[in-house]
């Protein structure tokens, strides 16, 4: 037996009108209404329509009204089922945290697309696009209707041109140019410059009309289109880009334009700094540079050497970490970029513990990019040295960064004062075992230019006489000795370093450092004598080593490092991959 409505329906169907207890159930009595029904009935009862005397409705009943009631829906966060609603403060805190994390050089946001990066990039993008937006707005405001611009009712102002056609325009340009030349000639006469000076001025004016100072073409090394093409190939193929810096002059050997390019055009690539040649600077200076540079990119100190390296384990473990970050990839490629002669190839050789790349103490040794397998999942790419073009760098700066082969420079003696300014006097005395080129104890860089030149000539003469480097007639071979001094400066035989900016060094510490520096140099010299007196020609076969002379030979006769000695480097292959290589090659 059912209950309620079901039971009532059954009784009705079966024609049973009593309710099971003998009571006869009639319609209208014992009639149970449900809530819904009661509600709708109430609606009809809720006031009648008001009518006038004629019976027309003057005010409709509430259920007859066509006016929709003002309804407010209470907001509820449950509507946004999967969304968390957070307060503005919490959003700001989140935004700050994401920004800090993305700026931290030691952390990497791998899947940026899955993060709300627009929260932090919004402003930056806006700034970047601002020009464009303004430009667009301007066009919108200034643009005119088609009818206003063309046709009989055109109201557009025509530009007022002094010429009627293209030919006239060309003629007036030629005339302007000749007037310009006349004015230049006039200015030259007024300035009292003779005919011969004119040639100099003409030399300083480029073909494209841009005025620059005349510079030996050799100082544009590393800036050619070919080299930059090689660089872009390396950057494109690399997941990790290692920017190799010379620890003695990290800021001088920094390529900010390349950093900017990677930051803006390829932000998914990891950029690191590698401070190479750390053996040539005091430890504390290297540490300070590492600390300073780490603020921008992860920085490691390194000393490239087959037998006595420093930082190799750290670098390899870092590369392993990068490869595990990209575990979905079959392998990662690590590109080495930087100024010429900073030791890119030497670092690769150190990592492989094998002479796979040709190295030489002269810039421009690596000519094409080269692939080397470090381990199954890590490939290394060697890149030729690059030099970002700069209008402020003087030939002296360029030469002392090791960009130029000293042999190719005209009158090398003119650059020796710069060497004397960078090095400490006692280091020079100790290196060459000469004394007395300076009459007072004043800082070399503080002396007037004339005095500096005189002292540098005296210095070169002393070395020339001591080493017997004399020309016919007993004159000192100043340029020959200058070449030797410059090479010694670049190859680390004379100790020097650029101190980190804002580094407050007190005198006692400085003294200690200098001493250390001297010892480092001696140690390095010994090391060079033992192992680095060899220069490798083409191929990675150790049997192909060609000995070109020991370090002592170099000191006696510097011409020993001629181009011919390292000519074999031209043959080196473009791409070399050794698939059989395994992780055993390296240790961390």
Ligand X SMILES: Nc1nc2c(ncn2[C@@H]2O[C@H](COP(=O)(O)OP(=O)(O)OP(=O)(O)O)[C@@H](O)[C@H]2O)c(=O)[nH]1
Site for ligand X in 237-276 (CB under 6 A): 276
Nearer of residues 387 and 476 to ligand X, judged by Cβ: 387
**What is residue 531's DSSP assignment?**
I
366 binds ligand X (CB under 6 A): yes
Question: Which residue in the set 120, 272, 274, 360 belongs to the binding site for ligand X (CB under 6 A)?
Answer: 360
Query: Are 371 and 233 spatial neighbours (Cβ–Cβ below 8 Å)?
Result: no
The interface region with ligand X, picked from 360-368, 407-415, 465-473, 498-506 by CB under 6 A, is 360-368
Return d(Cα 424, Cα 493) in angstroms, integer. 13
The pattern of x and - marking residues 503 through 532 that bind ligand X according to CB under 6 A reads ---------------------x-------x
Return d(Cα 208, Cα 218) in angstroms, integer. 21
Question: Which residue in the set 105, 361, 499, 568 belongs to the binding site for ligand X (CB under 6 A)?
Answer: 361
Phi, psi of 302 (to 5 degrees): -145, 150
**CB 368: neighbour CB atoms within 10 A?**
17
The interface region with ligand X, picked from 143-151, 355-363, 409-417, 420-428 by CB under 6 A, is 355-363
* Structure tokens given for 264: 């803006």
Nearer of residues 361 and 499 to ligand X, judged by Cβ: 361
Give least dist CB 527 to ligand X, A.
8
Total interface residues for ligand X by CB under 6 A: 25
Question: Which residue in the set 323, 342, 370, 456 belongs to the binding site for ligand X (CB under 6 A)?
Answer: 342
Nearer of residues 323 and 346 to ligand X, judged by Cβ: 346
282 binds ligand X (CB under 6 A): no
Question: Which strand (E) or helix (H) includes residue 523?
Answer: helix 507-527
Q: How far, CA to CA in Å, does 58 sit from each of 43, 52, 53, 209?
A: 19, 6, 10, 92
Question: Which strand (E) or helix (H) includes residue 45?
Answer: helix 35-45
* Structure tokens given for 462: 């002393």
Q: Which ranges constitute the DSSP H helices of 295-381?
A: 312-325, 344-352
Question: Which residue in the set 384, 417, 467, 495 belongs to the binding site for ligand X (CB under 6 A)?
Answer: 384
The pattern of x and - marking residues 298 through 327 that bind ligand X according to CB under 6 A reads -----xx-----------------------
Closest alpha carbon to 334 in 225, 402, 244? 244
* Structure tokens given for 93: 């805190």
Question: Which residue in the set 385, 412, 417, 467 belongs to the binding site for ligand X (CB under 6 A)?
Answer: 385
Return d(Cα 518, Cα 55) in angstroms, integer. 119
* Structure tokens given for 35: 């809530």
Give least dist CB 276 to ligand X, A.
5
Site for ligand X in 437-496 (CB under 6 A): 492
Give least dist CB 306 to ligand X, A.
10
Return d(Cα 490, Cα 484) in angstroms, integer. 10
The interface region with ligand X, picked from 81-89, 177-185, 363-371, 438-446 by CB under 6 A, is 363-371
Nearer of residues 221 and 452 to ligand X, judged by Cβ: 221
Chain residues that interact with ligand X, rule: CB under 6 A: 276-277, 279-280, 303-304, 340-346, 359-361, 363-366, 384-385, 492, 524, 532
């Amino acid at each position: 037996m059912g209950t309620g409505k079901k039971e009532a329906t059954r009784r009705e169907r079966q024609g049973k009108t009593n309710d099971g207890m003998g009571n006869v159930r009639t319609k209208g009595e014992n009639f149970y209404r449900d809530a819904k029904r009661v509600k709708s009935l109430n609606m009809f009862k809720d006031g009648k329509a008001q009518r006038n005397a004629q019976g027309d409705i003057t005010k409709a009943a509430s259920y007859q009204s066509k006016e929709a009631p003002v309804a407010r829906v209470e907001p509820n966060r449950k509507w946004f089922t999967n969304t968390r609603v957070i307060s503005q403060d919490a959003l700001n805190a989140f935004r700050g945290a994401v920004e800090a994390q993305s700026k931290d050089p030691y952390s990497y946001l791998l899947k940026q697309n899955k993060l709300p990066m627009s929260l932090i990039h919004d402003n930056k993008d806006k700034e970047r696009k601002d020009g464009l937006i303004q430009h667009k707005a301007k066009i919108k405001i200034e643009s005119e209707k088609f009818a206003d611009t063309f046709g009989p009712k055109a109201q557009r102002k025509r530009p007022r041109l002094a010429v009627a056609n293209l030919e006239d325009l060309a003629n007036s340009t030629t005339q302007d140019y000749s007037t310009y030349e006349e004015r230049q000639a006039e200015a030259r006469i007024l300035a009292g410059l003779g005919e011969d000076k004119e040639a100099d001025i003409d030399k300083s004016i480029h073909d494209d009309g841009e005025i620059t100072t005349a510079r030996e073409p050799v100082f544009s090394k590393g800036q050619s289109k070919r080299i930059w093409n090689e660089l872009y190939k390396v950057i494109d193929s690399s997941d990790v880009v290692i920017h190799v810096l010379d620890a003695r002059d990290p800021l001088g050997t920094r390529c900010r334009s390349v950093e900017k390019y990677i930051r803006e055009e390829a932000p998914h690539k990891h950029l690191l700094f590698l401070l190479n040649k750390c053996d040539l600077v005091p430890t504390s200076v290297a540490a300070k540079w590492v600390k300073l540079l780490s603020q921008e990119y992860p920085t490691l100190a390194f000393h490239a050497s087959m037998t006595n390296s420093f930082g190799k384990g750290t670098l390899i473990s870092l590369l392993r970490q990068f490869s595990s970050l990209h575990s979905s990839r079959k392998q990662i490629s690590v590109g080495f970029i930087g100024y010429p002669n900073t030791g890119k190839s030497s670092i690769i050789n150190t990592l492989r513990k094998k002479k796979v790349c040709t190295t030489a103490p002269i810039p421009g040794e690596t000519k094409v990019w080269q692939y080397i397998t470090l381990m199954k999942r890590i490939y290394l790419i060697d890149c030729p040295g690059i030099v970002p073009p700069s209008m402020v760098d003087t030939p002296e700066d360029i030469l002392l960064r090791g960009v130029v082969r000293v042999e190719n420079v005209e009158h090398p003696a003119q650059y020796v004062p710069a060497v004397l300014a960078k090095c400490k006097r006692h280091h020079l005395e100790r290196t060459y075992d000469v004394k007395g080129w300076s009459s007072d104890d004043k800082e070399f860089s503080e002396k007037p230019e004339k005095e500096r030149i005189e002292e540098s000539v005296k210095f070169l003469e002393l070395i020339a006489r001591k080493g017997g480097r004399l020309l016919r007639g007993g004159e000192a071979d100043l340029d020959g000795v200058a070449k030797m001094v410059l090479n010694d400066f670049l190859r680390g035989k004379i100790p020097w370093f650029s101190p980190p900016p804002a580094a407050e060094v007190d005198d006692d510490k400085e003294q200690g450092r200098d001493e250390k520096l001297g010892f480092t140099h001696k140690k390095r010299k010994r090391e060079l004598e033992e192992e680095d007196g060899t220069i490798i020609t083409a191929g990675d076969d150790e049997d192909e080593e060609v000995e070109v002379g020991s370090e002592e030979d170099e000191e006696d006769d510097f011409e020993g490092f001629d181009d011919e000695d390292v000519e074999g480097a031209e043959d080196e292959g473009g791409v070399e991959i050794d698939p059989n290589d395994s992780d055993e090659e390296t240790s961390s």
